[in-house]
A and B are shown apart, each in its own frame.
Chain A
Amino acid sequence: MTQIFLSGTTKLGVEEFDYSFETNSSKRIAVVGPNGSGKTTLLRLIAGHERLRSGLLKINGNVYDEPTSGNFTPPHQRKLTLQHQDGSIFPHLTVEDNVAFPYRSKKKSKRKARALAHKTLEAFDLLQIKDKYPNHLSGGQIARVSLARSLTKQPRLLMLDEPTAALDVASVRQVHQTLESLKTSLLLVSHDPIEVLKLSDTIIALEGNKIIQFGTLKSVTSKPATQWLSKFFDLNLVSGTASGLEFKTGCGEIFHLPQNYSGNVEVSFPSSAISLHLSPPSGSFRNKWKATVTSLDKQDKLVRIKLVGAFDCYATITVPTFNELEIALGNTIWASIKATELNVLQKPNPAKT
């Protein structure tokens, strides 16, 4: 468990940044926010590529940056890794030497470093391509090399800046699978709500170079502090098994899918795609279920409703609809969704290891 304490400000050009948060028990933190809200700067600050103007940065009790005392630990002495979106693989080194790089940095001989890297290469299924140069690799392979290399350093904290932004679906799945199985603490910048829902337990939400919400995944998704956040988390994620056009949730509810699938899948859909009814809906709605209203969050023109039934999900409806249906806490109502609104993610087969 990595403890991060950051309370300070910095300035880059004309932009000022102000961060303040403390993590104790969180293992997987996601940093979310609109473009240009200061996410990458936060990571660079923690990595030591930017310096605080005032305040304090402490990780696991070690002061990394404190302008008043002049304490500053340079990037290469920090027990963490920052991995850039494109992986920043060294183009002049082979896959093997890229992965062995952190060992070489510890002044290990080339042979020793390569020997030590062998295990990691094996674990990341990179042995076959270990002698290749990066310009001969696919995007997914580069992502794996990058992750493998970050981990050879054995960091206490692994920071990832949009690790899957440029990857194809299959590679995204692979990266997610690896990250899920990691024991290292994660700090992850992501633009993908599903990724955040799957990988994180804590959210740092940034807007305007400031932290506007900080808390557990649950607390932030159930009560997003800003419109941007509620829109960002406007997604429900349900896992289950698929066979053909049918999808079965963990509790046995059956959904109809837009296409044929099989095996473990995850189904996501925006909360605004859910329709609510007082009585069982008829007609074209084939995906319908009964649920209880457990929370209500009125915002301006929209109401966010938490539904607990065969699975938990959120529904967002307009205020007039809300008034018309006369929904109240504890009510039991019917929910429905069109099959075409469902977005199906094929889950990887259970890991071999």
Chain B
Amino acid sequence: MAIYLLRRLALTIPVIFGIVIVTFFLVQLIPGDAVSAMQGQLKMSAQQMEQMREALGLNDPLHVQLGRYLVRLAQGDLGRSLFGSQPVALLISANIGATFQLTIAGMLVAMLIGIPLGVFAAVRWGSFWDVAATVIAMLGVSVPAFWLGLMMIQLFAVTLGWLPITGDRGLLGLIMPAAALGLAEAAIITRLTRSTLLEILGMDYVRTARAKGLIERAVVWKHALRNALLPLLTMIGMQFGTLFGGAVIIENVFSRQGLGTLATQAVINRDFPVVQGCVMVAALLYVLVNLLVDVLYGVVDPRIRYG
């Protein structure tokens, strides 16, 4: 297991390296450059703009710029933002916690609602409750997260006054954003849990378990659901990226700090060092989450061996 983990971790290095290279060239494809973007903010003559391009090294050939960036990166230096001059590492560290908090809370909401609802629908297959759960799942997928967020604000903050919108960086302030972010994912998990469980509930070993006289709860939750977890785990790992992206909208609605907002603003500003830093960190997180999912396979299903 340890060797497997080390090998997988070693593999992340070329993946991240590839992402850095691809991001670097993708960012270059955006029309204009940081200095022309700054022109909208700072008053510069054409000569001053040229001086600034020279100072930032933007006039150097691309391979020189890339080489310089990689050397700095190897030294752990992500550079400074072109707007406000804050160190990129500082900007990322100031924002990553909030994004992580929101993404994990959103995923928890999704799992806590999605899995029980999916199980509930599967065991009552064909009933009114099955249809109701399916309708709820469809609504969850269809309703845009930003709309849901705004409606939650109206109901729970403005009308009822139960929850804070901004300013509370504790758990209370996380409830609405996490719910708005997680409900759409809950719908997807509900549908997958339901369909996977339905298939498993028809299998021979489930029939055997029932024949042995096990109570239905034990059959469903202990025997059937455990086998349904593998595709769920795969999907949850993949949905992590979706949640990470969806967090941008929720961050905007609830005025929360986060990597998504930071990256979006950086793209608008052509703030290349920040864009590159954010993409790299997001990619690293995605790779690590999927590694974690692979490890969890072995925990859920002992038949899976790593070598």
Whether A associates with B in a native complex is no
Give the B-binding residues of A (Cβ under 8 A): none
List B residues at the A interface (Cβ < 8 Å): none
